[in-house]
Structure 1
Amino acid sequence: MQRFEGKTVIVTGAGSGIGKATAKRFAEEGATVALLGHSDSVETAVKEMPGDKCFALKVDVRNSENVKAAIDAVVEKTGQLDVLYNNAGAAEMKPPEEHTDEDWDKVIRTNVDGVFYCSRAAIPHLEKTKGCIVNTSSVSGIGGDWGMLAYNTSKGSISNFTRALALDLGKRGIRVNAVAPSLTDTKMAKGIMADKEKLAKFQERMPLEAPAEPEDIAAVVSFLASDDARMVTGVILPVDGGVTAANGQPAIG
């Protein structure tokens, strides 16, 4: 499929994991893709993209001025913006009282402020193309977890941010949706993936058992960004192997 031929896509957090896989998916479908990230990994990732229409920009999404400058630079380079995928994220796993101010700020400023800054800067450009925004929420933005207070707070914010922004932008021709993954085999989840006992607990709760691969999430993001989803907006779509299908009670059958 070449659903994004002639279109420009921005992917944040594109240096690894879901962001990198999604940038590759968009590129495979014909898009010009700007890979945004705060580390050198984004420069490495762009070398692995198919075709010759991808480029990298080092950006800290927590800095609103840098975000606006980067998005404006993408539009100046390509002439347009059709899709913004807000994927950059951070997490902390510890008891509430052990969250330092720095821990809290890192997660909230990356996962919430960064999504707002990127979306705000992109709106004028997306209005011209009748484009769309896709955000990475999480099953942790649908229900709570133990030991992940800052992360749950941030992803709950993104779920409702997505709904509210969809309402505000719908009449302007801009769709806004989010994916909500569960455990996915990425750098952020390496501690769980390396712990057989923890991994088994996740597999017990996932009807499809195996953790998702980044490409599984990328496929759903590309659907939500495509014209195939032209009547879909304000949706938080679980890509979770069936985790949220359960009511939380244990399996006893």
Structure 2
Amino acid sequence: MTWHATALTLFPEMFPGSLGLSLAGRALREGRWRLDTVQIRDFAVDKHRTVDDTPCGGGAGMVLRPDVVDAACEAALAQGPGRPLVYLTPRGRLLDQALVRELATGPGAVLVCGRYEGLDQRVIEARGMREVSVGDYVLSGGEPAALLMLDACVRLLPGVMGGVDSAEEESFSASEAPLLEYPHYTKPAEWLGRTVPEVLLSGHHAAVARWRREQAEAATRERRPDLWARREPQRIAAAGLASGHAGTTD
């Protein structure tokens, strides 16, 4: 079954965008995944094709109407039922590799690209949308976030990437609490007075693996203490288990 994505948007011309290039674009042309768009404005109920209205309770900006968005969702799901509805919003759950893997192994997704102040909460609840954020910042709309999420998912689809090992070693790919990826080097061995670490030229595979693990751990401790804190209970448990085994005899 082809992995199927649909974007609900006021700007369908933003798709496929960068997804029409490189690995994702080739996979799209090969039919490894499918991308459709639904123009939210097509489901407006007045002659002016209005999709938003002022927020109840007052305040700045406009809010996308629940009836319009609900009709657009119905049309998108009719193209391929059984797919989760994902609303891209700064107030959602942070997108991570675990969620990307979950979505990539499913039938696809319907991505709702918000604009203005966002969606009426009632349609979010009525449709059981999964609210997802791509980071702690605010974009002008959900389309760039949808492109980002789709890129992360598509590259995990069967046959899209050539090197499975490469994907497994990337940042956030570990099944345990993730580590940032180790630094990479290539030829020439010396450039502008900077040299490739000797261990990477040694041919000693165990030493290379150990160095890479140490570098990944150091980068994670320094740059993402939140991720490192998630690893500590695992490290303590592993150390205790190793100690217990060491002191046990049959």
Higher helix share: 1
Q: TM-score range by the shorter chain?
A: 0.3 to 0.5
Larger Rg: 2
